[in-house]
Amino acid sequence: MTGRESLSYFSRFDAESIYARRGWLIGKGPVGGKAKGLAFAFDALQGSPLQETVALPPSTIVVGTEIFRDFIQDNTMEWVYSEPDIERIELGFSRGTLRESFRADLRQALESLGDRPLAIRSSSLLEDSVQLSFAGKYDTCFSANVGTPESRARELEDGIRSVWASLFNPAPRAYRNKHGYRDEDEAMAVLVQPIMGRAHGHLYYPELAGAAFSKVYRRPTPRVRKEDGVMRLCFGLGTRTVDRAKARVFYLTNPNLRPEGNQPGEIASASQVDFDYIDRNFGSFMTGSLRQFLPYILKQHKSVHSFVEIYTDNLLYWAGSPLKKFSKPVFSFSALPTRHPYLFQVMRSLLAHLESSLGLPVDIEFTYDTESRELSLIQMRPLAAYEEMAQVKIPDVPEDQLLLRGNRMVSNGILERAQHLVYVDPDLYGSDSTFYEVAREVGRANALLAGTRYILVGPGRWGSTNPDLGVPVKYNEICHCGCMVEVGIRESNFTPELSYGTHFFLDLDVDGILYLPVFAGESGNTYNKEWFDKTPYDKGHHPAVRVYHGDFAVYMDGDSEVGQVMLL
């Protein structure tokens, strides 16, 4: 099939009947993009060599969009479409009345879902299409699924209400507006899935969880083949693979390649050190420190030496090494490709099969258990295409005109003329606890510069869920920029990352935003801090945020792995 034919085929795919035949559908109306993608994957695996190899959730309950529309109508909540205050909207959804017939259907569904913890996921009409991903824009809620039948049902109902309300979050509203849709064009279906994983005492989580892509549109080096795909992996619940938290990226061309570098210190600084799980005693989502949980993990996981190492004295040691005062256990995943090649073999086959079945590149989420070798597919969607330009010629400019230059993780692209540059001063960011005030000020600048495709420059990882790693902006606070620059400053632990596989980078792909990492002080990199400190700028409500005006340009050549921001 051609790309156009594949689009048409996927848009006509009858996901509703697949869920209805299995008794998994509650209500009427479309089931949304996320539910459609999973149903398509289910259908594509039937009768294939992978049918017995790849597991799917034993049941996935889908609440159709008509239930959402009924709720709005029953509670006379049409006002939410013009209400800007998300807190008022959330309050309205929390107080609204559900139909008794729907509540009865949910209680019956809980019996079929079993006693595993539950993930309550969005599946809106516009979500996970080829043109628009809406990835990470809507809420996912977790239920420990413990206690009395009444308390379990109440927690499920509350989770569904929260997912419904998230349709009106500022980020998806900005995303819809940018791409020409109104709030009224959207409606929310909901998926309820048992979390694929295991109970380890009162802790419940998958051993490994991740996201994978059948194509690599943003490569750290031309040596990575675009056709081979990429996988982003973490220990525990998969929240860290889709957020800009620390997780391990495996390029399937060469799973041992580390874009962050191969030195022990570089590996340790880029590695996951915390993990997420469901605590069934407390009935809640929790985060644990690897240092605190290491003895427990050593006992619970036979393959621990494949993914945990101890960093101390600028060296990496095996997971069972004695902890010294300043040692740091990390999820490095160093030995995973050699000790568990089966995961990589199955992943290559699965991505190739789903891409062939759909006729388009795919993006999946999954869990994996190294002991049982069970790979569970929990989500599939078409991967928004991103095409790099042909090779770009980097112009030579005098040193005083060169503002930023990087030589790693560069893809091809040009932003020929930008009149504005928004900058977060690394010296001021993190000097106090006003991380979120900085993010909101960047958002104000973004709103004022709508339609300009400005250049955005700041320390570490834009959009990180951990503000110590970078400015915790949301999509609606950076959606108008044309090029995003991340400045790495080793002394302050600010490290850029090509977080391919995260929701954040899916937005860059869809919106055509260039990405340039700069590692200050490293050979081949330039961070002209003198220019930023001495050039006049506009001040905002926070001293760390500056707006410069002038004539700027961005040139990026992925073949030579050089990118630069310059004055014209």
**How many CB atoms within 10 Å of residue 198?**
18
Contact call for residues 166 and 87 (beta carbons, < 8 A): no
Residue 500 has pLDDT above 60, yes or no: no
Residue 326's pLDDT is what? 80
Residue-wise pLDDT for 277-326, tens only, equals 999 999 999 999 999 999 999 999 999 999 999 999 889 998 988 888 78
Residue 22 has pLDDT above 80, yes or no: yes
- H, E, C per residue of 473-512: CCHHHCCCEEEEEEEEEHHHCECCCCCCCCHHHHHHHHHC
Which amino acid, one-letter code, is at 133? S
Residue 423 has pLDDT above 70, yes or no: yes
Residue closest to 296 by CA, chosen among 268, 277, 270: 277
Residue-wise pLDDT for 544-564, tens only, equals 999 999 999 999 887 788 999
| Bridge pairing between strands 374-382 and 362-369 | antiparallel
Residue closest to 213 by CA, chosen among 157, 268, 166, 251: 251
- Identify which has the larger pLDDT, 223 or 418: 418
Contact call for residues 203 and 76 (beta carbons, < 8 A): no
Question: Sign of the C-alpha dihedral, residues 345, 371, 297, 203?
Answer: positive
Residue-wise pLDDT for 99-153, tens only, equals 999 999 999 999 989 999 999 999 998 876 656 666 667 889 999 999 999 999 9
Contact call for residues 333 and 241 (beta carbons, < 8 A): no
What is the reported pTM?
Answer: 0.83
Contact call for residues 197 and 166 (beta carbons, < 8 A): no
Per DSSP, the residues of 285-322 read EEEEEHHHHHHHHHHH-TTHHHH-EEEETTEEEETTSP
Q: How far apart are CA 487 and CA 504, in angstroms?
A: 17
Which amino acid, one-letter code, is at 131? Q
Tokens of 141: 């809620």
Residue 217's pLDDT is what? 72
Q: In 3-state terms, what secondary structure has residue 425?
A: coil
Contact call for residues 502 and 241 (beta carbons, < 8 A): yes
Which amino acid, one-letter code, is at 328? K
What DSSP element (H or E) covers 261? none
